[in-house]
Structure 1
Amino acid sequence: MIRRPIYNSSAVSRHPTSPISSFLRSLFSTYSSENNNEPIVSKRNPKSPFGSPTRVQKLIASQSDPLLAKEIFDHASQHPSFRHSQSSHLVLILKLGRSRHLNLIDDVLANHRSSGYPVTGELFTYLIKVYAEAKLPDKVFRTFYKMLEFNFTPQPKHLNRILEVLVSHRGFLHKAFELFKSARLHGVMPNTRTYNILMQAFCLNDDLSIAYKLFGKMLERDVVPDVESYRILIQGFCRKGQVNAAMELLEDMLNKGFVPDRLSYTTLLNSLCRKTQLREAYKVLCRMKLKGCNPDIVHYNTMILGFCRQGCAMDARKVLEDMSSNGCSPDSVSYRTLIVGLCGEGMFEEGKKYLQEMILNGFFPHFSVSNCLVKGFCSFGKVEEACDVVELVMKNGNALHSDTWEMIVPIICKEDDSEKLKMFIEDAMKVEIRGDTRLVDAGISLGSYLSSKLQMKRKNVRERRRL
């Protein structure tokens, strides 16, 4: 790294032989000798003491100190026979912007304008990038009019990037909207992406009516909406609870040959389930595959949860069984939701069957699953079934919550004295994993004790029946 000397910058123009001028000449000379020993004077421009514009551009790019890079740029600019390359301007703008020396950028732009180079979109792309990274939305906004000052008609990509920056800052949405409305007057034609940016912003700002009007303007101006356009509005309507309007948009999409994306379907299914329109939601799920979008685990789990919340666990069971036939395997969330739903409707035997299937498929049941089954069986006096659940879970190396032990231990050990029971409870609560989730290791002696007690009870029952 080359250190920048302390000096008065105005001295460069007043005294061509000032210390800084000598320093920079030495710097150019050193850089030249370090790069293939090229002569300082370029063959293409024999009057320039700095060599080719490419060499100066590389020297500017190599400086870690942006102010020194700017001094090199200014020093070379003072020679009447030297003309910077466009790359030098772009590199210096990025250096100054990223180091927050934004007040110096206008000098570079003025130099670019006076150099006679044709203004390109790349220059303003860099400028927007710099101001966006500096979180200066107002300067990003003014860049649009800076382009017009340079007699450059902004391209749709410039307009879109400016709008993206503006709507990401609180209080600049309406300024972005005004820019959008005036863009056509300056010869900039908004495209689909332009409308999508504004529709998304107004939906998130709770201005759904404006977003919907923009969608209508697209069609009036022959701007073709895309899947994202529809999804933005579907999400907006669902967020407002207007699920019927969202369904109409889905139908419009399908009629026009669009294939809705997965996020659109997820949003619709969630909204329909919250509105308890489960039959309509299931129809949407069934139509997905027919319309070219295979349902995934999120869609199926949404439906299972929707049915279980409405007390339709048997319908949820059908959804889970449909998953495999459609090439989608249930996950632990699918089983947990269904088992808890079945228990909520008193179908504990069905829940136990799915617990076995869950473990068989390699999933570790959440403690709430076994707790729900044990509690349900115990509440109906089906102690043996409850113990079967305990044994099934422990045999597969899983753990039980302390609440589960506290439910089942008193029932099995009711003939034992309270001190002995207390000791077993303390053993069951030995392992504390985190917070309120206290689990008991399957290897503790309590498991074998309960198993022996259960065998004894079963033996007594068989003997009574024989007698």
Structure 2
Amino acid sequence: MIRRPIYNSFAVSRHLTSPLSRFLFSSSSKDSPHEPMESNQNPKSPFGSPTRVQKLIASQSDPLLAKEIFDYASQHSNFRHTQSSHLVLILKLGRSRHLGLIDDVLAKHRSSGYPVTGELFTYLIKVYAEAKLPEKAFAMFYKMLEFNFTPQPKHLNRILEVLVSHRGYLSKAFEVFKSARLHGVMPNTTTYNILMQAFCLNDDLSVAYKLFGEMLERDVVPDVESYRILIQGFCRKGQANGAMELLEDMLNKGFVPDRLSYTTLLNSLCRKTQLREAYKLLCRMKLKGCNPDIVHYKTMILGFCRQGRAMDARKVLDYMSCNSCSPDSVSYRTLIVGLCGQGMFEEGKKYLHEMISNGFSPHFSVSNCLVKGFCSFGKVEEACDVVELVMKNGETLHSETWEMIIPMVCKEDDSEKIKMFIEDAMKVEISGDTRLVDVGIGLGSYLSSKLQMKRKNARDRKRL
């Protein structure tokens, strides 16, 4: 199939001599007697019915050849393409990314006097979006007006989505938004949400908030997403109190906030150390129709632990279990590390037992934190219990943990326990770990000096 442009009628007629073309361009006298004459058939046209030309254009796999056929037929004064021929060709050119040729087809469509449909512009906006051509999408709004077509809100929203997704096009999106009402296009809730989200992400919270106020003034009803966008915007700026006011307004108007709104607010309150307000919010969630999930509880546990309030974090973990929400490994790890940070190692050890009994594998940082804590207070037995518990569960210990525990066990002078820990340490698959080797060297020196001391004592007793 020829893909280069056709500049003479002979070349085109050569393209139109395929069996399908001969059938479509045959004269009406050869039509079946049972086939009614098509209403748009022009007997003076050498091509026959425009519908037949439309079928030929639609059947071409090469969009450039389809355009050549379209252009050649357009040159004849007695021929007029159908409206569907324009649409079919535009779709072909759009799919094949021959975007430069679409404007020419649109101009011919306009001069033909056919009315345009919203479907055509919906597809064109999609084509420009996929081709990452925001300038074309921007121009499409005004192109629709040139065609005396009033854009629908869905066209406006899609154009805005394309523009705000590209850096530097927010001002153009706002320009289209302001022009829309002047041209009879009424922005809806989705329109405002798109712009509010874009301005919030652009760190223009004040503009987003003004848009929210304008929405209420123009009787455009906000939805849950409208509030969530602004709540996230306030939290991103560290204005948790402003976000709380929005949440209260939302609840007073009968909206049920989504989980993401609560997560954002809880996280913001915790970071602002407003833990009392955060805990109240967590307790109110269920009453307001939104059951807290694992993310909300983990946010509170982390918030309390960061502020050195591990006992309050423990209450949250116990509270979530009573509300049919099972803690996960991250919840336990955060709590245990928090308890160790406050010197409550026995409490941490208790939750380690609970963690393992619930089927979770503790991260090595958990056992390391507990062993380090117990060893720092000389509680070797408790440290050994942690090691044994973790090892029985099939977990490996970090080399730093062995580095701490082995010297402590050696000082206890319990040969059986020393033997057991050396055997366990040798099972750990750590290759080339310098600290563990240093521990082994230190242990060897310790045992050697211990043996020499025993021999010296034995010689002294014999002399006496």
Report if the CA contact (8 A) 1:21-1:75 is conserved.
no
Q: Does residue 1:25 correspond to 2:17, yes or no?
A: yes
Query: Closer, same or farther in 2 for the Cα pair 1:78/1:26, shift >3 Å?
Result: farther
Matches of 1:147 and 1:126, distance apart in 2? 13
Q: Secondary structure at the match of 1:330?
A: coil
Residue 324 of structure 1: aligned partner:
321
Residue 309 of structure 2: aligned partner:
312
Report if the CA contact (8 A) 1:60-1:88 is conserved.
yes
- Mapping of residues 398-413 of structure 1, within 5 Å: 398-413=395-410
The structure 2 residue matched to 1:251, chosen from 239, 248, 251, is 248
Matches of 1:280 and 1:294, distance apart in 2? 18
The more displaced of 102-111 and 73-82 is: 73-82
Q: Does residue 1:74 correspond to 2:71, yes or no?
A: yes
Residue 143 of structure 2: aligned partner:
146
Matches of 2:243 and 2:211, distance apart in 1? 16
Q: Secondary structure at the match of 1:327?
A: coil
Matches of 2:17 and 2:79, distance apart in 1? 14
Shift of 1:308: 0.6
Report if the CA contact (8 A) 2:308-2:342 is conserved.
yes
Matches of 2:424 and 2:188, distance apart in 1? 69
Query: Closer, same or farther in 2 for the Cα pair 1:53/1:318, shift >3 Å?
Result: farther
Shift of 1:112: 2.1
Residue 104 of structure 1: aligned partner:
101
Matches of 1:432 and 1:63, distance apart in 2? 66
Report if the CA contact (8 A) 2:24-2:56 is conserved.
no
Matches of 1:388 and 1:364, distance apart in 2? 16
Report if the CA contact (8 A) 1:159-1:194 is conserved.
yes
Matches of 2:83 and 2:194, distance apart in 1? 32
The structure 1 residue matched to 2:230, chosen from 229, 233, 246, is 233
**CA shift digits 1:146-194 (9 cap, x unpaired):** 1111111111111111111111111111111122112111111111111
- Mapping of residues 450-465 of structure 1, within 5 Å: none
Query: Closer, same or farther in 2 for the Cα pair 1:353/1:107, shift >3 Å?
Result: same
- Mapping of residues 161-180 of structure 1, within 5 Å: 161-180=158-177
Shift of 1:387: 1.1
Residue 292 of structure 1: aligned partner:
289
Q: Secondary structure at the match of 1:267?
A: helix
Report if the CA contact (8 A) 1:406-1:425 is conserved.
no
Report if the CA contact (8 A) 2:12-2:69 is conserved.
no
Structure 1: unaligned runs, 5 residues or longer:
440-467
Shift of 1:68: 1.7
- Mapping of residues 115-134 of structure 1, within 5 Å: 115-134=112-131
Matches of 1:151 and 1:279, distance apart in 2? 59
Matches of 1:165 and 1:239, distance apart in 2? 24
Aligned residues: 421
Shift of 1:54: 5.9
Report if the CA contact (8 A) 1:192-1:224 is conserved.
yes
Matches of 2:6 and 2:270, distance apart in 1? 69
Report if the CA contact (8 A) 2:397-2:428 is conserved.
no
Query: Closer, same or farther in 2 for the Cα pair 1:356/1:52, shift >3 Å?
Result: farther
Report if the CA contact (8 A) 2:3-2:62 is conserved.
no
Residue 427 of structure 1: aligned partner:
426
Matched to 1:427, the amino acid is M
Q: Secondary structure at the match of 1:287?
A: helix
Identity of aligned residues (%): 81
Report if the CA contact (8 A) 1:98-1:134 is conserved.
no
Residue 95 of structure 1: aligned partner:
92
The structure 1 residue matched to 2:354, chosen from 315, 338, 357, is 357
**CA shift digits 1:376-420 (9 cap, x unpaired):** 11111111111111111111111211111111112223458xxx9
- Mapping of residues 203-242 of structure 1, within 5 Å: 203-242=200-239
Matches of 1:271 and 1:31, distance apart in 2? 71
Shift of 1:86: 4.1
Shift of 1:255: 0.3
Query: Closer, same or farther in 2 for the Cα pair 1:279/1:59, shift >3 Å?
Result: farther
**CA shift digits 1:61-82 (9 cap, x unpaired):** 4444221222233344445565
Shift of 1:213: 0.7
Shift of 1:10: 3.4
Shift of 1:325: 2.1
Shift of 1:371: 0.7
Query: Closer, same or farther in 2 for the Cα pair 1:251/1:5, shift >3 Å?
Result: closer
Matches of 2:48 and 2:359, distance apart in 1? 71
Query: Closer, same or farther in 2 for the Cα pair 1:31/1:246, shift >3 Å?
Result: farther
Query: Closer, same or farther in 2 for the Cα pair 1:298/1:421, shift >3 Å?
Result: closer
Report if the CA contact (8 A) 1:94-1:130 is conserved.
no
Shift of 1:30: 7.0
Matched to 1:26, the amino acid is S
Residue 339 of structure 1: aligned partner:
336
Report if the CA contact (8 A) 1:32-1:39 is conserved.
no
Report if the CA contact (8 A) 1:260-1:293 is conserved.
yes
Query: Closer, same or farther in 2 for the Cα pair 1:53/1:42, shift >3 Å?
Result: farther
Q: Secondary structure at the match of 1:222?
A: coil
Query: Closer, same or farther in 2 for the Cα pair 1:30/1:185, shift >3 Å?
Result: same
Matches of 2:82 and 2:2, distance apart in 1? 23
Matched to 2:15, the amino acid is F
Larger Cα Rg: Structure 1 or Structure 2? 2
Matches of 2:31 and 2:327, distance apart in 1? 72
Matches of 1:57 and 1:315, distance apart in 2? 74
Matches of 1:241 and 1:290, distance apart in 2? 26
**CA shift digits 1:266-285 (9 cap, x unpaired):** 10000000000001001111
